Chains A and B, each alone.
Chain A
Amino acid sequence: MILLNGAIKLSIMQVVSAYLFIIILLLIVRKRGLNREKEIIISTTRMTLQLILTGYILTFIFKNPNPFITILIISIMEVFAIQNIIKRTKSKLSKELKKVIIISMLAGTLFTLIYFIFIVINIKPWYNPQYFIPLAGMVIGNSMTGISLGINKLVEGFKNQIDLIEGSLMLGASPKDACKTILDNAFDSAILPTINSMVGMGIVFLPGMMTGQILSGSSPLVAIEYQIAIMLGILGSVSISVIIFLLLGYKTFFNRRIQIRREEL
């Protein structure tokens, strides 16, 4: 056991003992006939390799801060997040809706990041990867989840309530008025996980970032300051991304004659 800045640095043997824990899990899974050994081994190996690689890359990036590398990493994160949203959506998405996903992800996350980097945390230099990359990861990851939930609710709403929407249009409703209930529901379900995690935070569980900071030797008071700031940032980013997505997204279900594009459902 080596103490480093007040934190315990794990030796190789200690990390190996953590894998023993997984071996016990594998034995239980096998005995119970759950048939998931392959998935556990693959996911454990993937996680290990990915994190080792990330550790080396981050060490290199932190030692050599460079605005271009920071921007490149953020761009890679955004591309993966957008691809993930499109892949994870249960329904086939139109070209227009895919464009809306890209616009809302970029607008929501970049606005939040700029505000937090320059105003709230005031990082100098702004591209300092030690702050920029973890912040971007949390903001982008949560907006990704928010938009994914929003899309599913929006598409589901259009499919299940098509009679209500069309019946409203027949009365002369604007598309926005005709879709109001669906948009409200989609927004609620998109931000609900963030709201729930804020409500339980500190009482039901300690958030990952705060736990990480405390484990690495930071004072809990410093950790909560960051956690509060980042949670507000996440809530803002998820809300902005989802609002932009919904405000632009519902329009893609109508043609220029304000008729429902049934072929997109």
Chain B
Amino acid sequence: MFEIKNLKYKDILDIEHLIIHKNSVTSIIGESGSGKTTLLKMLNNILSPDEGEIYYEGIEINNYDPINLRRRVVMLPQTPVIYKGNILDNILIGKKFSKCNNYNIEEIKNLLQKFNVNKNLNEPADNLSGGEKQRICLIRVLIMNPEVILLDEPTSALDENTEDMVINFVVEYVKQNNKSLIMVTHSKEIAKKYSDYIIEIKKRR
């Protein structure tokens, strides 16, 4: 799915060769400042390396239209991005960006329940706690139905039990729908428990 060759970025990343497989769960681990988020951003083409190439499905990433690529390879940043409006507006915004207006309200309610967010869809999103915002953003990504989901510490604001429940659900969803998941996590346990592959990035000294 992704192939990285001779990638260099400032004095943060130096990757000679890396393959990330399709229809798999891959975790990226490493100490802070090692470049985990930077690598994820490069796969979403929101950031470009100084040198080297990144291929997605055999095609160099810069040969894709960046907007279309990001709709296929969606990234969720660590800090939840909340827009003006209610919870439903916030969940649907990703689909709205893709000019796709059809949605299944039952599916959304079901996801809210699965993620343990006991709120009405018409409540203002501003009032949500950090953890709830993070889960709303995850639901936003899931209903966009992308090919690849890139998650940057998706559960950093959640307690251990909720974290496990959320990751478990996302991994199940990815497996059942033949998607690919690449997530940055601080937790080696989560990475070991759920990933098919683990990439460990070492900080350059």
Interface residue ranges of A154-202 to B (CB < 8 Å): 163-164, 166-174, 177, 181
Evaluate contact between A171 and B46: CB separation under 8 angstroms: no
**CB-nearest residue of chain A to B93:** A171
Residues of A within 8 A of B74 (CB): 170-172
Evaluate contact between A166 and B94: CB separation under 8 angstroms: no
Q: Is B141 an interface residue (CB 8 A)?
A: yes
Q: Is B144 an interface residue (CB 8 A)?
A: yes
Evaluate contact between B70 and A171: CB separation under 8 angstroms: yes
Using A164-B83, A171-B141, A173-B97 as known contacts, say yes or no to A259 and B48 having CB atoms under 8 A apart.
yes
Residues of A within 8 A of B62 (CB): 257
Evaluate contact between B46 and A172: CB separation under 8 angstroms: no
Q: Is A76 an interface residue (CB 8 A)?
A: no
Q: Is A8 an interface residue (CB 8 A)?
A: no
Residues of A within 8 A of B68 (CB): 172
Q: Is B45 an interface residue (CB 8 A)?
A: yes
Convert B84-101 into 0s and 1s, putting 1 for each residue whose CB lies closer than 8 angstroms to a CB of A.
100000000110011000
Q: Is B120 an interface residue (CB 8 A)?
A: no
Q: Is A258 an interface residue (CB 8 A)?
A: yes
Evaluate contact between B71 and A168: CB separation under 8 angstroms: no
Residues of A within 8 A of B140 (CB): 171
**Interface residues of chain B: helix, strand, loop or mixed (majority):** mixed
The contact size tier of chain B is: 20 to 34
Select which of B48, B77, B84, B98 is within 8 A of A170 by beta carbon: B77
> CA A155 – CA B71 in complex, angstroms?
27
CB proximity of A29 to chain B, nearest CB, Å = 47
CB proximity of B201 to chain A, nearest CB, Å = 20
Using A171-B94, A173-B97 as known contacts, say yes or no to A259 and B47 having CB atoms under 8 A apart.
yes
Residues of A within 8 A of B94 (CB): 171-172
Evaluate contact between A167 and B67: CB separation under 8 angstroms: no
Q: Is B138 an interface residue (CB 8 A)?
A: no
CB proximity of A219 to chain B, nearest CB, Å = 50
Evaluate contact between A171 and B84: CB separation under 8 angstroms: no
Q: Is B76 an interface residue (CB 8 A)?
A: yes
Residues of B within 8 A of A260 (CB): 46
Using A177-B97, A257-B48, A259-B47 as known contacts, say yes or no to A163 and B66 having CB atoms under 8 A apart.
no
Interface residue ranges of A14-56 to B (CB < 8 Å): none
Convert B17-39 into 0s and 1s, putting 1 for each residue whose CB lies closer than 8 angstroms to a CB of A.
00000000000000000000000
Q: Is B75 an interface residue (CB 8 A)?
A: yes
Convert B40-70 into 0s and 1s, putting 1 for each residue whose CB lies closer than 8 angstroms to a CB of A.
0000111110000000000000100011101
Evaluate contact between B71 and A170: CB separation under 8 angstroms: no
Evaluate contact between B67 and A257: CB separation under 8 angstroms: no
CB proximity of B33 to chain A, nearest CB, Å = 18
Interface residue ranges of A86-130 to B (CB < 8 Å): none
> CA A167 – CA B37 in complex, angstroms?
13
Evaluate contact between B76 and A170: CB separation under 8 angstroms: yes
Residues of A within 8 A of B150 (CB): 170
Q: Is B165 an interface residue (CB 8 A)?
A: no
CB proximity of A189 to chain B, nearest CB, Å = 17
Residues of B within 8 A of A258 (CB): 66-67
> CA A116 – CA B79 in complex, angstroms?
51
Evaluate contact between A172 and B81: CB separation under 8 angstroms: no
CB proximity of A251 to chain B, nearest CB, Å = 14
Evaluate contact between A168 and B81: CB separation under 8 angstroms: yes
Query: Other CB < 8 Å A-B pairs besides A163-B79, A163-B81, A172-B70, 14 of them?
Result: A166-B46, A170-B150, A171-B71, A171-B74, A172-B71, A172-B74, A172-B94, A172-B97, A172-B98, A181-B84, A259-B45, A259-B47, A259-B48, A260-B46
Q: What 8 A-B pairs have minimum CB-CB distances, sorted nearest first?
A: A167-B81, A172-B71, A173-B97, A170-B75, A172-B70, A258-B66, A171-B94, A167-B77
